[in-house]
Amino acid sequence: MDSFLIKGGTPLHGDVTISGAKNAVLPIMAATLLTAETCVIRRVPNLSDVQFMCQILTSLGAEVKFEEGTLTVRAAKIKGVGDYDLIRKMRGSICILGPLLGRLRKATISLPGGCIIGARPIDLHLKGVAALGAKIKIEGGYVHVDAKKLRGADLFLGGRAGPTVLGTANVIMAAVLADGVTIIESAACEPEVIDLIHFLNAMGAKISGGGSPTVTITGVKSLHGAEHEVIPDRIEAATFAIAAAATNGEVTLHGARADHMHAILDKLREAGVKIERNGPALKFSRNGRLKPVDITTLPYAGFPTDVQAQMMVLMALTPGISIITERIFESRFMHVSELARLGADIAIEGPSAIVKGGKPLSGAPVMASDLRASAALVIAGLAAKGSTEVNRVYHIDRGYENIDGKLRKLGARIQRQEGS
In 60-136, which residue ranges form alpha helices assigned H by DSSP?
84-87, 97-104, 123-131
Residue 156: name the closest of 182, 122, 117, 193 by CA. 182
Residue 366 belongs to what H/E stretch?
Answer: strand 365-367
How far apart are alpha carbons 377 and 263 in whole angstroms? 22
d(C-alpha 74, C-alpha 69), whole Å: 17
C-alpha–C-alpha distance, residues 29 and 120, integer Å? 21
What is the C-alpha separation between 213 and 235, in angstroms, rounded? 22
Rg of the Cα atoms in the chain: 21
How many alpha carbons fall within 13 Å on the CB side of residue 104?
Answer: 22
Distance between CA atoms of residues 81 and 276, nearest Å: 49
The length of the chain in residues reads 420
Contacts of 83 (CB under 8 A, 6+ apart): 55, 56, 59
Report residue 186: phi and psi, to 5°: 60, 40
3-state secondary structure 170-207: HHHHHHCCCECEEEEECCCCCHHHHHHHHHHHHCCCEE
Q: Which helix (H) or strand (E) holds 308?
A: helix 308-316
Active site residue 95: no
User: How many Å from the N-terminal Cα to the C-terminal Cα in the chain?
Assistant: 6
The catalytically annotated residue of 39, 54, 95, 115 is 115
Are the C-beta atoms of 79 and 68 separated by less than 8 Å?
Answer: no
Cα–Cα distances in angstroms (integers) from residue 207 to residues 76, 192, 231, 381, in the given order: 24, 15, 19, 45
* Phi-psi region at 64: left, alpha or beta (left = phi > 0; alpha = psi -120 to 50): beta
What positions carry a catalytic annotation? 115
